[in-house]
C-alpha cells in the first residue's frame, strides 16, 4: 500500500513511518502542504494520513484539494479532541478515517487494513 | 462515510423545556443542577479537559508507538516484561485521556479538601469504543 504521511513535526512522523514500513507499506513523508500536493500530483497513493494540529492548515480546503487531485485516495486524520467535535465540523468533509491519539501499532495496522478495503471500493466507484 | 455513523451524545434541554414553566428536567439534571453557573463551569471544564487531551496526546502517541516497535523487535525476556509494564501504564493514561475527552457534565469530587473533576463514572463505564478505534 502506498501511503503519504503529512505532519509538521518530525517526531510523530518518524514513529509512524517506522511502524508503517514494518507492516510492509511504502511510505512517503512530508512536512509542508505544498510538498504534500506535489507528491500527490506526481505519484499514486492509496492513503493520505495527516495531523489535525498542523499550524495554518485549513483542513476542509486541504481535503477538498486532495479529492480534486484523486477522488480514490483514502484520507485519514490524526486527532485528539472529542469525536462529537469532528462529527459536527468535518462530518461531510471527505475525511474517511479518524485516528484518535494516543494510538500505537495495533491502531495503525487496523487503519491500514480498513483503508485497503475502502480504497478498493473508491477505485471501483471512480 | 464512516464518520456519519458516529453517535452524538447530548444532554441539553430541548426547546419545549425552555418554553414551559414546568420543570421538565430529568433526574440527572436535578441532581447536578442546571443554570448559567453550571454552564460556565462545564464550559471551563470542557476547555481544560480538551487542552489536557490536546497537549498530552502527541507525546503519548510517540511513546506508545516506540514501545510497540520495541515489543515487536525485542526478544530479551526481562526487557519485554518491562516494556509490557510500560505499555500497561500507558494504557491507563490513555483511558484517562479518553475519559477527559468524554466529559459532558460538571461534577467534582473532594480530594483532601481540593475539588477535582469527577471522571470516575466515565472510567467505570466501558469507554465508548469510538474514541479508541478508528471510525
Q: Which residues in chain B have Cβ-Cβ distances shorter than 8 Å to A59? A: none
Alpha carbon distance, N-terminus to C-terminus of chain B: 9
Q: What's the rounded Cα separation, in Å, for the pair A109 and A47? A: 13
A105 is written with which cell numbers?
501499532
> Any idea what DSSP says for residue B115?
E
Report CB contact under 8 Å: A91, B4: yes
- The pLDDT of residue B105 is above 90: no
* pLDDT value of position B115: 79
- The pLDDT of residue B101 is above 80: yes
In chain A, what are the domains? 2-125 (3.40.50.2300)
A39 is written with which cell numbers?
507528491
* pLDDT value of position B104: 75
> Is the interface score ipTM higher than 0.90?
no
Q: Which residues in chain B have Cβ-Cβ distances shorter than 8 Å to A76? A: 134
Q: What is the pLDDT of residues B36-91, one digit of tens each?
A: 777 788 888 888 888 888 889 999 999 999 999 999 999 999 999 999 999 999 99
Q: Parse chain B into domains and list their residue ranges.
A: 55-135
- What is the average pLDDT across A53-65? 94
Count H helices, E strands: chain A?
Answer: 5, 5
For chain B, say whether A22 makes contact (Cβ under 8 Å): yes
Q: Is B112 exposed, middle or buried (0-12, 13-18, 19+ CB in 10 A)?
A: exposed
pTM value is: 0.76
Amino acid at each position: 500500500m502506498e501511503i503519504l504521511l503529512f505532519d509538521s513535526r518530525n517526531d510523530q512522523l518518524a514513529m509512524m513511518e517506522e511502524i508503517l514500513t514494518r507492516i510492509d507499506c511504502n511510505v512517503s513523508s512530508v512536512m509542508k502542504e505544498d510538498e504534500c500536493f506535489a507528491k500527490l500530483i506526481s505519484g499514486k497513493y492509496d492513503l493520505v494520513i495527516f495531523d489535525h494540529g498542523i499550524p495554518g492548515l485549513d483542513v476542509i480546503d486541504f481535503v477538498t484539494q486532495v479529492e480534486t487531485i484523486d477522488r480514490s485516495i483514502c484520507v485519514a486524520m490524526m486527532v485528539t479532541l472529542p469525536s462529537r467535535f469532528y462529527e459536527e465540523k468535518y462530518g461531510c468533509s471527505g475525511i474517511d478515517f479518524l485516528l484518535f491519539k494516543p494510538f500505537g501499532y495495533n491502531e495503525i495496522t487496523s487503519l491500514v487494513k480498513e483503508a485497503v478495503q475502502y480504497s478498493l471500493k473508491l477505485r471501483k466507484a471512480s | 462515510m464512516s464518520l456519519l455513523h458516529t453517535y452524538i451524545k447530548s444532554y441539553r434541554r430541548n426547546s419545549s423545556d425552555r418554553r414551559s414553566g414546568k420543570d421538565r428536567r430529568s433526574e440527572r439534571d436535578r441532581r447536578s443542577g442546571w443554570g448559567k453557573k453550571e454552564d460556565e463551569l462545564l464550559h471551563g471544564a470542557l476547555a481544560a479537559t480538551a487542552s489536557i487531551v490536546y497537549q498530552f496526546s502527541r507525546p503519548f502517541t510517540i511513546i506508545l508507538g516506540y514501545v510497540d516497535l520495541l515489543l515487536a523487535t525485542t526478544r530479551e525476556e526481562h526487557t519485554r516484561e518491562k516494556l509490557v509494564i510500560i505499555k500497561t501504564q500507558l494504557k491507563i493514561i490513555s483511558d484517562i485521556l479518553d475519559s477527559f475527552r468524554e466529559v459532558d457534565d460538571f461534577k467534582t469530587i473532594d480530594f483532601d479538601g481540593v475539588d477535582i473533576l469527577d471522571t470516575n463514572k466515565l472510567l467505570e463505564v466501558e469507554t465508548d469504543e469510538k474514541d479508541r478505534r478508528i471510525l
